[in-house]
Amino acid sequence: MDAGVSESSARRALCHPDGKKSCGACCGMYNHRKSDESALMARLVERTRAFRRDASVEDEASLRAFRVRWEDPPEVKLLGELASCPFLGLLDGLDPTGRVGCLVHPLQNQGVDGRDCGVYDRFICEDYLCAAHAVLKRQEVDLVLAAVPDSYLYGLVITNPRLIRTFFDLAATERGAYPTVRELARDEAIAAARGFFELVRDWPYRDTDGIFGAVVPGEGLETSRRPHPAGEQEVKPVDTLLLGLGTRKLSVEELEDARGRVYQAVLSFAAALG
């Protein structure tokens, strides 16, 4: 693990980090053509309510029937062949601002494990770690945990290491030094980082399939790199952030505005670090 972070501690930090938010990306949380926050969280509320009413982790038949009813068909998914588990739901009652996670995980069911009825069996679920665990540095993870308040935004940010790293690197370039742990812990720095990460939630220039950032979903499991939003215009360093935000191709005026928004966020973060 990078920066001396063990696999077990990284798993705790990234999957279920603090009892307030969690990540459901590997379960297919964002793999839907209607992935805006209101629609996505409404689906999770409805699914969780139905699970509590119709299924029991101790009744395998009820779990398999629930999967048949609630598993998304390929045509509603951005990546049609990428599995989206119907047992992803809300863990804090029906609170859409709380944690998301596995409704059939043994930690949620007094040790009873229903994951073999899901799209992945218990062994895959237990062993899988996304790339962010290996790529992100400890201080980058800690800033995201401090700055991002809810599960919807957290999953989008933590699974986009290049966006996080580029934000750090551009701020370091502006101030002439990489931030220290003490600087990153400043309230002003956390607030400035939150302002940038909030762009991920409702970026006005995001493409219709931009939920995956710089990756463009294609047929089946195929993906490609997103076309540069600047088109034939001169490329600038902040454009990597535009790609990470899933930005569509922009006009000259739109590109100037988009660059200005992200560059101002970088400047605010650099200044807040002191």
Identify the band that residue 4 occupies on the pLDDT scale cut at 50, 70 and 90: very low
Q: For residue 143, which of 174, 173, 175, 172 has the smallest C-alpha distance?
A: 172
Gap between the Cα atoms of 3 and 78, Å rounded: 34
DSSP notation for 231-253: TTSPP-TTHHHHHHTTB----HH
> For the residues 115-131, what does the mean pLDDT come to?
91
- The dihedral sign for the CA sequence 75, 77, 82, 86: negative
Largest CA distance in the chain: 60
**Neighbour-count burial for 144-176, b at 16+ CB within 10 Å, e otherwise:** bbbbbebbbbbbbbbbbbebbbbbbebbbeeee
Structure confidence by residue, pLDDT tens digits, 212-271: 888 887 776 667 888 888 888 888 999 999 999 999 999 999 999 999 999 999 999 999
Q: For residue 84, which of 131, 27, 162, 128 has the smallest C-alpha distance?
A: 27
0.85 cut: is pTM over it? yes
Q: Indicate whether 11 pLDDT > 80.
A: no
Instruction: Check residue 179 and report its DSSP letter.
Output: P
Identify the band that residue 13 occupies on the pLDDT scale cut at 50, 70 and 90: low
Output the average pLDDT for the chain.
92
Mapped onto helix, strand or coil, the DSSP state of residue 90 is: strand
- The dihedral sign for the CA sequence 170, 268, 98, 140: positive
